[in-house]
Amino acid sequence: MANFLNNLRLYFGVCRRVGSTLTVGMLDEKRRNNLLALYNHYENKDSQQDVTPIDPFILPKTDVFELFGNDNAQYEGVYECGFGHTTEFELKVISNLVKKFDPNSIFEIGTFQGRTTLNMALNTKSNAVITTLDLPSEGLSSTAMEIEEGEIRYVKKDVSGERFIGHPMAQKITQVFGDSATYSFANYQNTIDLAFIDGSHAYEYVINDSKKILSTMRPGGLIIWHDYTNWEGVWTALNELYLSDSRFKNIKHIGGTSIAILQV
């Protein structure tokens, strides 16, 4: 009985304080601010609970075990990672894909230092031809489309392809320079067995590069994209191609990497 009476007194005490706060208490600035802070706290809490995060990475997933068996590729500089580079694991995945598909011709968009270019060369036959396209630093101010601000550092470099220059594998590699939005791919139509797209990560460039590379591919060829999970422009473009263009409906994302692939 004592507990009941105590709870009853507490109830009426709360009602009195709430009634006072919502009437004459509203004349007190401190009380008004406290009430507003309390309201905002629970309003924000409810709003956060109602928001369900949306996974932007909608491409169907595959994994390395579905793609190839044992790791029998060759590598150089695999542990030398940094800004603009594929990770150790990604470089091994790309090298094994090259080894498996055994392409006669490769086209790469985005040379940077040439680390991936070199490792692709290491895993191709002696007569394979690798063409790698890079935007020269002097072309930075005149690109046909806008690039991401964070990409400027990768264009502003003293040497493009420094990893393979002077290397024995360089005999397989042909460097070309230009803006992929205006570069002519006419001479490569239906000649490319494997392509690696790692140029500008801006949405418009990814769309442009993907469609132009597709026109160069031989049936059965493989397209590889880097940074699907790292740059919004890349995942937005690839998601759109996957959903709206039947030619890209079989794109897959390799789990544990930022790599997406399409076998033509």
pLDDT one-digit tens code per residue, 32-73? 555 555 555 545 544 444 454 567 888 988 877 677 665 667
In a shared domain, residues 94 and 220: yes
| Most confident segment among 3-7, 51-55, 68-72, 109-113 | 109-113
Residue 55 lies in a domain: no
In a shared domain, residues 67 and 152: yes
In a shared domain, residues 38 and 93: no
Question: Under 8 Å CB-to-CB from 202, ≥6 apart: which residues?
Answer: 145, 146, 147, 148, 151, 233
User: What is the rounded distance in angstroms from the CA atom of residue 111 to the CA atom of residue 17?
Assistant: 71
Residue 27 lies in a domain: yes
Mean pLDDT of the chain: 83
Look at residue 258 and tell me whether its pLDDT is greater than 50. Answer: yes
Residue 243 lies in a domain: yes
In a shared domain, residues 83 and 201: yes
pTM, full prediction = 0.75
> What does the pLDDT look like over 147-196, one tens digit per residue?
888 888 888 888 999 999 999 999 999 999 999 999 999 999 999 999 99
In a shared domain, residues 19 and 144: no
Residue 139 vs residues 113, 144, 147: alpha-carbon distances, Å: 17, 10, 12
Can you give the pLDDT at residue 63?
78
pLDDT above 90: percentage of residues in the chain: 59
Residue 92 lies in a domain: yes
- Helix spans in the chain (H): 2-22, 29-50, 64-67, 88-101, 115-122, 152-155, 203-216, 232-244
Q: Are 186 and 144 in contact (CB under 8 A)?
A: no
- Number of folded domains in the chain? 2
Q: Which domain does 44 fall in, by range?
A: 2-50
In a shared domain, residues 30 and 83: no
User: What is the rounded distance in angstroms from the CA atom of residue 261 to the CA atom of residue 264?
Assistant: 10
Other Cβ atoms within 10 Å of 68 Cβ, number: 15
In a shared domain, residues 107 and 178: yes
Residue 250 — very low, low, confident or very high, per pLDDT cuts 50/70/90?
very high
In a shared domain, residues 33 and 128: no
Phi-psi category of residue 129: left, alpha or beta, with phi > 0 → left and psi -120 to 50 → alpha:
beta
In a shared domain, residues 35 and 73: no
User: What is the rounded distance in angstroms from the CA atom of residue 106 to the CA atom of residue 128?
Assistant: 8
Can you give the pLDDT at residue 66?
72
